[in-house]
Amino acid sequence: MQFRNLPSVDSVLALPNVTAAAAAYSREWVVELAREELDAARQRIRQGGEADGAEEIAALVCRRAEEAGLAEPRRVINATGVVIHTNLGRAPLSRAAMQAAEEAAAGYSNLEFDLEAGRRGSRQARLESLIRQVTGAEAALAVNNNASAVLLGLLALAAGREVIVSRAEAVEIGGGFRVPDVLRQSGATLVDVGTTNRTYLRDYEEATTEDTAAYLKVHASNFRVEGFTSEVDAKELAALGDRLGVAVLHDVGSGSLLPTERYGMAHEPMPQESIRAGMGLVFFSGDKLLGGPQAGIVAGRRELVGLLARHPLARAVRIDKLSLASLTATLVHYLRGEAEREIPVWRMISATAESLKERAHSWKRQLSEPYSVAESRSAVGGGSLPGETLPTWALALDASSLPEGAEGVMRLLREGRPPVVARVEDERVMFDPRTVAPDEDMELLAALRGLNG
């Protein structure tokens, strides 16, 4: 009987809001949306639900049409306190980096044109110069992400030969990036040495043969092993490689160009340290602690970088013009000594607990109960500094007495414009000011007031 109460497609399409949607988009597509929503309504009836009316179906159709017209990915307010949030796009860009990308996108550029010589140039030239200056490397290049950089390095230097890796470093870093799989795809053969917790220099030396192309050292960026452990120092491994004529490659992961211990955290490997240690090639990400766009950066010895640059895969994984522009602008911040002030991830990391407490109290004063301010911890995230957190103060919403509960509140916030993503601690929804940009305060407060309206 309930099926007979469902409206027809034509009756849904005749409603003014659906007619407007059909005019704004494509009538054929809106008709298809109406049919899909009616199919979904029939399924709900089969599961014991009531029939939806034409207005209810029309509202669902219009909502889907409106959402399809929104830009993707959408901007969200990150109130989780996770600075480099992988699911929320990792590092936000500085204003200069955004402006550089906008200018590169708005018209033509000298992407591969030498303005002085008046002929074809290299898209890597200016970027390479900057990377060399901030890392001390002889040469450098950038590709679309760090996984590509490592794969390119292995293909160019070790295809068909052996690569020695500490068993403790043959890891899965995230997103399915597994060191053994990458080696297999490159055509190189993995030779793992040592044990899961202790590897010595002699392990590398004893495993080296005429077929050894490289030693690969990998920073386990999203976990750490503590206790009875031992790993080979980068400088020692580089010296062994030089003595035996084996290239030494180092994936340092997050690309931290500033010392993290300055901010009360454990030391994160820095590309410039690996270069000084004598590593042949160093690989790192552009969109983690470096604070730029998605990119993979290779820095190191000129002859090795040249082999990568000339490899056929280099063109397939090359960096695009928008990322190139924003990465260049980001690196300039380091040269000017302004990274902590201008690059958002470092501005967030360097924020003091006292300043965050003041912001959280400022939010609370503009809201009614049941909000409070609570001491908590922020995470760096993004596969950087595993287990390391920063002291913070967050605005807390006690959801234990609310009918929708904490998860219901989180869902309502995600449905907002813009969506707000927070975190839950002990049935409290926590809003950490560390990762909320100051110019987002008013939008966040409006979203929180909307929960009561």
Give tens-digit pLDDT for 357-398.
999 999 999 998 789 999 999 999 876 677 789 999 999 999
- The pair of three-digit structure tokens given for residue 174, joined into one six-digit string: 């995230």
- The pair of three-digit structure tokens given for residue 93, joined into one six-digit string: 């860009």
Cα(103)–Cα(105) distance, integer angstroms: 5
User: What pLDDT does residue 53 have?
Assistant: 86
Cα(434)–Cα(357) distance, integer angstroms: 10
**Confidence class of residue 73 from pLDDT cuts 50, 70 and 90?**
confident
**Confidence class of residue 182 from pLDDT cuts 50, 70 and 90?**
confident
pLDDT for 167 beyond 60: yes
CA dist 196 → 181, 230, 292 (Å)? 18, 10, 33
User: What pLDDT does residue 229 have?
Assistant: 67
CA dist 340 → 130, 257, 292, 346 (Å)? 18, 11, 13, 5
pLDDT for 311 beyond 90: yes
* Contact (Cβ atoms closer than 8 angstroms) between residue 204 and residue 232: yes
Specify the residue for token string 């890597």: 124
- The pair of three-digit structure tokens given for residue 9, joined into one six-digit string: 């497609």
User: What pLDDT does residue 194 have?
Assistant: 87
User: What pLDDT does residue 412 have?
Assistant: 93
* Contact (Cβ atoms closer than 8 angstroms) between residue 290 and residue 254: yes
User: What pLDDT does residue 186 have?
Assistant: 84
- Cross-strand partners of 114: 119
User: What pLDDT does residue 227 have?
Assistant: 56
CA 311 to chain centre: 27
Per residue in 244-265, pLDDT (tens digit) is 999 999 999 888 999 999 999 8
For residue 438, which phi and psi values (nearest 5 degrees)? -55, -35
- Cross-strand partners of 390: 378
Exposure on the CB side of residue 15, measured as CA atoms within 13 A: 21
Per residue in 392-446, pLDDT (tens digit) is 999 999 988 888 889 999 999 999 989 999 999 988 999 999 999 999 999 999 9
* Contact (Cβ atoms closer than 8 angstroms) between residue 11 and residue 54: yes
Exposure on the CB side of residue 3, measured as CA atoms within 13 A: 5
Cα(327)–Cα(33) distance, integer angstroms: 41
Per residue in 134-154, pLDDT (tens digit) is 999 999 999 999 999 999 999
Cα(449)–Cα(436) distance, integer angstroms: 17
For the chain, how far is it from start to end, CA to CA, in angstroms?
Answer: 37
* Contact (Cβ atoms closer than 8 angstroms) between residue 324 and residue 293: no
Query: Which parts of 247-289 are beta strand (E)?
Result: 247-253, 281-285
SS3 of residue 214 by DSSP: strand
User: What pLDDT does residue 175 have?
Assistant: 57
Q: Which whole number is the average pLDDT over 20-45?
A: 88
Specify the residue for token string 């590398």: 204
* Contact (Cβ atoms closer than 8 angstroms) between residue 317 and residue 118: no
Which runs of consecutive H residues, i.e. helices, occur in 107-218?
A: 125-135, 146-158, 179-186, 201-207
SS3 of residue 23 by DSSP: helix
Per residue in 210-241, pLDDT (tens digit) is 999 999 998 875 555 565 567 888 999 999 99
pLDDT for 110 beyond 80: yes
pLDDT for 334 beyond 60: yes
- The residues, ordered by sequence, that sit 6+ positions from 414 with a Cβ below 8 Å of its Cβ are 420, 421
Per residue in 265-285, pLDDT (tens digit) is 889 999 999 999 999 999 999
Cα(227)–Cα(267) distance, integer angstroms: 17
Q: Give the mean pLDDT of the chain.
A: 90
The enclosing H or E element of 35 equals helix 27-46
